[in-house]
Amino acid sequence: MSLIEDFKVFMARGNVIDLAVAVALGAAFGDLVKAFVVDLIMPLVGYVLPSHMAWEEWTLGKVRVGLVLGACLHFFIVSSVVFIFCVKLLGMLLKEEKEIQIVEPTKRCPECLGTIPAAAVRCRFCAVPLPVTRTKAP
């Protein structure tokens, strides 16, 4: 394959497109959370500070505590939402999907090679009697 064909195959995979969508949504979500923290949460924090100081100006010595606090809240909210939605919610959905998919053990018919249930004594496709395999009782 040529380099261009390899690149087309690489781009046609679902993983690349899914990743691009996730990055775009992540950036938009990050902006949303940052606006939530900066415009809603941090002004509430400003109420506990002295009245002459904005939260961005809150310092201890040369450390800008207000900006660090804002960044920490931003990180905490983003990580909490990602954990709740991606780990817990998707985990519950995938668990329900796994519980629904009950796989019945199967075997192959020696005559027509059709797939039939393991407990079958006659093939449903060609009606050939099958050898009965008995399991030992515990």
Nearest to 128 by CA among 106, 115, 117, 112: 112
Q: Which domains does the chain have, with CATH numbers?
A: 3-100 (1.10.1200.120), 103-133 (no CATH)
pTM (predicted TM-score): 0.46
What is the C-alpha separation between 73 and 55, in angstroms, rounded?
Answer: 13
Distance in Å from the first CA to the final CA of the chain: 57
Residues of the chain above pLDDT 70, percent: 88
pLDDT at residue 100, as a whole number: 61
With beta carbons less than 8 A apart as the criterion, state whether 58 and 10 touch: no
The stretch 13-30 carries a mean pLDDT of: 79
Please write the tens of the pLDDT for every residue from 72-128: 888 888 788 778 877 787 778 777 666 666 667 888 888 888 888 888 888 888 888
β-bridge partners, 108: 115
Those residues whose C-beta lies under 8 Å from the C-beta of residue 42, and which sit 6 or more positions away, are 55, 66, 69, 70, 73
Token pair for residue 110?
A: 């020696």
